[in-house]
Each structure stands twice: as C-alpha cells, then as structure tokens.
Structure 1
Amino acid sequence: METSVRRLFERYERVFNAALQGKVDMDEVAALYASAFIAASPAGVMTGKNDEQLKQVMAQGYARYRAIGTREMRIRELRISPMDEHHCVAHVAWKATYLRKDQPDIAIDFEVHYLVQQLGAEPKVFGWVSGDEQALLQEHGII
C-alpha cells in the first residue's frame, strides 16, 4: 500500500502544480478523491461528495491560489501511518512558494494529514485535517 500511496501524492502534487499554471483537468483532480470525503480545520468540519460541485469548488480554489500568487506546491516529506490493510494517514509536509509584488518570493511550510483508502487498484483520499490556512497566509503577508 505504501508504494501506491506515494504514487497518489506524486500525482496530487503534479495535478496541483498544473492547476497553478492554469492547465487543470478537473476529471484528473476528481480521480484523486473517494466518492465522499470529510475535511476538518479550525474553520470547522465539512463533508462532501465527489461530484460536479467538488470540481467547481476545486476550480475556484485553484483560481484563488493563482490570484494570491501561489507559484508552486512541493512535497517536502511524506510519512505514512497504516491503520489497517485498506486505510492509512498520509502526513504530507508541503512547501508553498508565493510570488509577491515588490518583495522577494516567500516559501511557507505547512502540513496536511490525509485519510486514504485503497479498496481497488488505486488509493483515494477520503478526508483531510489541516491547520488554519487563512491565518498562516495572513501571518506571512500573502493575504
């Protein structure tokens, strides 16, 4: 399972960076996720379905990232904690690089914990837990 989860996040990183370049395939984005998911952050807990609304929300999110100057998202480290033969938590340490007007680019490190399930050939993200993204972006003068 570890190898397939690592490949999932290599794809995740590649898709995210393509989206930052405006070259996003929303079907490829949706393929990363299970049919339903849960997300938790200091803003609360949300549930959703992998449907057209998810694609729309993700497209808006990528547009927002481009608008605030997000240039690149790179995985610094990926640690996998198995739960059973079909589930794990993927602890992903990201480095986000932002372009800023009249200032040097800035890189921000953060971590997201993804819930992953593998029932068939490919693992899927069915949830994630993240920190306060808005506060982090404000702290670094991005927004």
Structure 2
Amino acid sequence: METNVRKLFERYENISKASLRGDVDMDDVAALYASEFVAATPAGVMTGKNDEHLKQVIAEGYAHYRAIGTKEMHMRELRISPIDEHHCVAHVAWRATYVRKNQSDVVIDFDVHYLVQQLGAEPKVFGWVSGDEQALLREHGVI
C-alpha cells in the first residue's frame, strides 16, 4: 500500500502544479478522491461528495491560488502512518511559493494530513485535516 500511496501523492503534486499553470483536467483531480470525503480545519468540519460541485469548487480554488500569486507547490516530505491493511494517514509537508508585486517571493511551509483508503487498485483520499490557511497567508503578507 505504501508504494501506491506515494504514487498517489506524486500525481497529486503534479496535478497541483499543472493546476497552478491553469492547465488542469478536473477529472484527473476528482480521480484522487473517494466518492465521499470529510475535511477538518479550524473553521470546522465539512463533508462532501466527489461530484460536479467538487470539481467546480476545486477549479475555483486553483483560480483563487493563481490570483493571489501562487507560483509553485511541491512536497517537501511524505510520511505514511498505516492504520490497517486498507487505510493510512499520509502526512504531507508542502512548500508553496507566492509572487508578490514589487516584493520578494514568499515561501510558506505547511502540513496537511490526508486520510487514505485503498480498496481497489488505487488508493483514494477520503479526508484531510489542515491548519488555518487564511491566517498563514495573512501572516506572510500574501493576502
């Protein structure tokens, strides 16, 4: 399972990079996720379905990231904590680079903890836990 989860997040990273360039296939993005998911942040907990609404929200999210100057996002580290033969937590340390007008680029490191399930040939993300992204962006003067 570990090899498959690593491949999943390599795809995730590559899709994120393409999305930041404005070159994204929303079906590729949706293929990373299970049919339903849960997300937890300091703003609360939400649940959702992997449907057309999710694709729209993700497309809008990447458009927002481009608008605020997100230039690049890549994985610094991936650590996997197995739960059982079908589930794990993938602890991903990300690094994002933001372009700011008339200022130096800003680099922000952050972590997201993804809940992953593998029932078939490929693992899928069925949840994630992350920190306060908006506060972090404000703290670094991005927004």
Asked whether the two chains share a fold, i.e. TM above 0.5, the reply is yes
Instruction: Show the counterpart of 1:15.
Output: 15
Question: Structure 1 stretches of 5 or more lacking a match?
Answer: none
**1:128 to 2:128 alignment:** yes
Instruction: Show the counterpart of 2:87.
Output: 87
For residues 65 and 110 of structure 1, what CA distance do their matches in structure 2 show?
15
How many residue pairs align between the two structures? 143
Where has structure 1 moved over 2 Å in runs of 4 or more?
none
TM-score (norm 2): 1.00
For residues 74 and 16 of structure 1, what CA distance do their matches in structure 2 show?
8
Question: Structure 2 stretches of 5 or more lacking a match?
Answer: none
Instruction: Show the counterpart of 1:105.
Output: 105
**Deviation of 1:113 (Å):** 0.1
For residues 46 and 73 of structure 2, what CA distance do their matches in structure 1 show?
23
Q: Deviations over 1:8-31 (max 9, x none)?
A: 000000001100000010000000
**1:60 to 2:60 alignment:** yes
Residue 111 of structure 2 aligns with an amino acid whose one-letter code is E
**Deviation of 1:106 (Å):** 1.0
Instruction: Show the counterpart of 2:96.
Output: 96
Instruction: Show the counterpart of 1:140.
Output: 140
For residues 17 and 68 of structure 1, what CA distance do their matches in structure 2 show?
15
Q: Secondary structure at the match of 1:60?
A: helix
For residues 61 and 17 of structure 1, what CA distance do their matches in structure 2 show?
13
TM-score (norm 1): 1.00
